[in-house]
Amino acid sequence: MANLFTDYRANVMDFGAVGNGTADDTNAIQKAIDACATGPYTTVYLPRGRYKITKTLVLPLQVRPNTSGTQGTGIKMIGDGMYDSGLIYTGTNYAIYSDKDIAESILFQDFYINHAKGGGIYLPQGAHQMFERFFSSACGIGKYGVYIQGMRSQENSTAGYGSYMVSFRNCRFWQETGYLGTGVRIEDIPLCITFDNCFFSRSVRNFSHLELVNCYGAHITACAFERTEQQVPPADPANGRTEEMVKKEAIASNNVMKAPLIKLDNSHSVSILESHAEATYETFVGIYNHSSDVLIDAVA
């Protein structure tokens, strides 16, 4: 009898990955991903370790089951924990990317991506795009931890429109020295978007941490959104730098932060419930371009 927990996992170590943070594991992990498209595997498994990748990992095509039951493939990428298994991406593009018209039945779970110079994950349209205990631990300036662009499918007139049934659960978008980009940007999703118990924190640049563009039916529950104060050099009275000077510089630096932590752009039927907002400078939620039916309640 097959062991469902191991027999269908493409363990990246079996494809030559080292996971010591210095060896280039790009080719090994890409081979494991490709094996999920052509072989018996359904899951890319990242055992505990730090996997350096120098090029973008490209996802295979996922295919919906048909009426006759002759097709149907999804993909999962799973680690041993959001602090234990990680990809260290050294490039400036996206660490994980789909160049297909559709990305469906796809799960990212229990690992992190450090993409300090680039973006994290890019997906086109598709259903059941799921993120659970996923951690974007460093972001390039102005880049995205996760970018889902539903309109990409319009290049193919038969591919449909937008993503739906997109979920983020217990995810984290945070960098200890300050998050330099946007945690999540989602475009053109017509229904069923959820964020549950996610942490968007230490934003230090003039970017929103969560952006919903042309979306409908998004629900944000029990999440936290925080900025970090801009740092200025401390006072040095011996050399003429007074506390008053520090205060003025700090106020001026923080006044530059105009982007709302959450940006709603032509998005409708959005709820933000039982969540936390801190150091919003200057706005927690920005509502633009005829966004409507927005409910914000029990935010502390």
pLDDT tens string 279-295: 766 789 999 999 999 99
Total domains in the fold of the chain: 1
Domain that holds residue 42: 9-231+261-297
Residue 245 lies in a domain: no
Residue 85 lies in a domain: yes
pLDDT at 158 over 50: no
Residue 246 included in any domain? no
Residue 255, in any domain of the structure: no
Q: From CA 41, how far away is CA 105, in angstroms rounded?
A: 14
Tell me, what CATH number does 97's domain have? Answer: 2.160.20.10
Asked, for residue 1, whether it belongs to a domain, the answer is no
| 110-144: pLDDT as tens digits | 999 999 999 999 998 888 899 999 999 999 999 99
Q: Would residue 242 count as lying in a domain? A: no
Above 60 in pLDDT, residue 156? no
The count of other CB atoms within 10 Å of the CB of residue 193 is 26
Residue type, 204: V
Q: What six digits make up the tokens of 224?
A: 């936290």
Least trusted range by pLDDT, from 32-41, 114-123, 234-243, 264-273: 234-243
* pLDDT 10s digits, 26-80: 999 999 999 988 778 889 999 999 999 999 999 988 776 666 655 667 789 999 9
Give domain status of residue 128, yes or no: yes
Picking from 100, 34, 62, 131, the residue whose alpha carbon sits closest to that of residue 10 is: 34
Domain membership flag for residue 238? no
Q: Hunting for tokens 């943070």 — which residue is that?
A: 21
**Separation of alpha carbons 122 and 124, rounded Å:** 7
